[in-house]
Structure 1
């Protein structure tokens, strides 16, 4: 066999692998359209959680199931910083606060004034159990923390917390005494070299990245003109939930100098779906909104460029409608998001795939300004 024939034979043998690689790295428009049809939620039910005073703001819902009930972790900002709270519901529409799970602590600790927590290792199958999985006989959360007072002020870094108690009961989770991802790490990259924000951690038992735990997080890093302000979503990996390293030097989702943030993962069939929000993009889509990207391998993501999943349309979300958490239960999709009105009141709302009525919940009436 001559060299030309050998090369041709080798090329033919490699065609299946080349085709598989191409399929793995890019999700077709047809599949993206199908995913959109499955996840869209055109019916806004309204607010499901609101603060009990105008001095507080609610943010970043995470929803999981335990036994026959649903539970939501969420953030409360009261002027000092973030704490993480727990609520429960029987029907995914009516929620009741139960108590705190990550609270302010001694001011000598690195995370004393900021503890923004998010559930980890959830069953991420679309329409699945949505239960939290145990690893080493413990339930896990990730969170970003910091010592500075104020709204997302100072150095914010990512760490993890766990508990061997029932996660559906309010109690303080045990935290590490140090960050696991920080902008002062030796392996920090250009896109996350200022501060870290929201993250989500999945248990990838197939080890598509070579590691069983995968974290997606958004971070503030250098912008095009080297000034801080841009946020993008990137990856970190771990084999034990305690020690983390960045995966790659670049973000997996990047829309320039705006914000690409708050990732959350579901798996629909063989497609991984990342829900996230976009804000203040300089090109393409404008406004603040929720949308999604898709992947076959957890590394290469195809961005959806069609209609937005959630955007401002109602008085309670007129300023911002963003930050996703999406579940499917009994053929209904529930898309929870952070709603901010013109008075800068911040609560948690939900949109659904079927009309389930309208919420009667409203923000606390803002104080009336006295005329001079």
Structure 2
């Protein structure tokens, strides 16, 4: 979803706050089993890159229809974010198709930021990964904003929909107002900095939360610890809905977070009877850079955090600055972990790592022009 800028933090934390973020609902043995199932030690490399230095790609979401795979992703242009679509036959070779949510509509709340993520994707591990419908429509959540530039506040979460085929390029219809905003009366303490970011919307058919639809989203908030205010924390929380249009926050506290830095961009898969949230971390106390991890849950509410090795971390020239922001699927026995790769020149593209050695990509970033 987002570009990470290196920030200077002074971190203060209490062991009590950190302990509350560590739920113990999943056994150590089960967490290890999940890790062994989802790990992808073979980096295939970049599969999507911008055509120039000015544009940056981010935040893949993958789904399937017929013989093709499709990926929605973001492009940041300097003005803001737009949402694009690409397709592939084999999950390794991708073709740009065009925009789904683009700049325009002067005077609207989301004029210059439209960062979208497909909703209601099939979450069955190793399943068909088709998009689901509700009320005769396909849905997409997105964060939007009226200001130009890099994540300029305020940023809020909106909903878009279409009754056309979502694998065909066309502009999606956006609801006229945000569904979640930092100005809402029920805004939580951990999202008070007017920046709500990536959202993932799933269908909870068993209504474990008491509602049909669940949204996981991350936001920026202050934290007051040891009597000193720290800024630029990001944490993952929840909202719920029964109609995809009206959302309300669920729980006062975030459901996945760390005592310092960023925890964000959660996406959900269900492996047997366990829900798995793939997410990224950055600027943690004990880990450098940006990296991908996971948490697990039996009820979609209480999450146990994996404490072992990162699933994805920087190791190659194309991801030497950050390797973060997950979308993970399993197809024909092979796990594909798509992520945003950032090199030290801040060039950003989409890469993939796999559970089986599939060779190496011949895709690379454009060579920076000499100055």
For 1:269-348, what aligned pairs fall within 5 Å after superposition? 269-282=272-285, 284-348=286-350
Structure 1 SS opposite 2:72? strand
Indicate whether 1:85 and 2:109 are aligned: no
Structure 1 SS opposite 2:356? coil
CA RMSD of aligned residues (A): 1.0
Aligned residues: 345
Indicate whether 1:249 and 2:215 are aligned: no
Offset, 1:339: 0.3
Indicate whether 1:233 and 2:236 are aligned: yes
Is 2:289–2:321's contact at 8 Å kept on the other side of the alignment?
A: no
Distance 1:138 1:106 in 2: 23
Distance 2:123 2:169 in 1: 23
Offset, 1:226: 2.9
Offset, 1:106: 2.1
Distance 2:91 2:313 in 1: 21
- Pick the structure with more helix per residue: 1
In the other structure, the counterpart of 2:14 is none
Offset, 1:38: 0.5
Is 2:295–2:303's contact at 8 Å kept on the other side of the alignment?
A: yes
Distance 2:31 2:156 in 1: 33
In the other structure, the counterpart of 2:13 is none
In the other structure, the counterpart of 1:68 is 67
In the other structure, the counterpart of 2:175 is 176
In the other structure, the counterpart of 1:116 is 115
Indicate whether 1:221 and 2:221 are aligned: yes
Offset, 1:25: 6.1
Is 1:41–1:351's contact at 8 Å kept on the other side of the alignment?
A: yes
Structure 2 SS opposite 1:36? helix
Distance 1:84 1:142 in 2: 11
Offset, 1:221: 0.6
TM-score (norm: length of structure 1) = 0.91
Offset, 1:286: 3.3
Indicate whether 1:152 and 2:151 are aligned: yes
Distance 1:108 1:226 in 2: 35
In the other structure, the counterpart of 1:33 is 32
Distance 1:99 1:322 in 2: 24
Distance 2:152 2:88 in 1: 32
In the other structure, the counterpart of 2:133 is 134
Offset, 1:270: 0.5
Unmatched segments (≥5 aa) in structure 1: 1-23
Unmatched segments (≥5 aa) in structure 2: 1-22
Deviations 1:70-114 (A, max 9, x none): 000000001100000000000000000001000111220000000
Offset, 1:228: 2.7
Offset, 1:367: 1.4
Structure 1 SS opposite 2:229? coil
TM-score (norm: length of structure 2) = 0.92
Distance 2:206 2:192 in 1: 30
In the other structure, the counterpart of 1:102 is 101
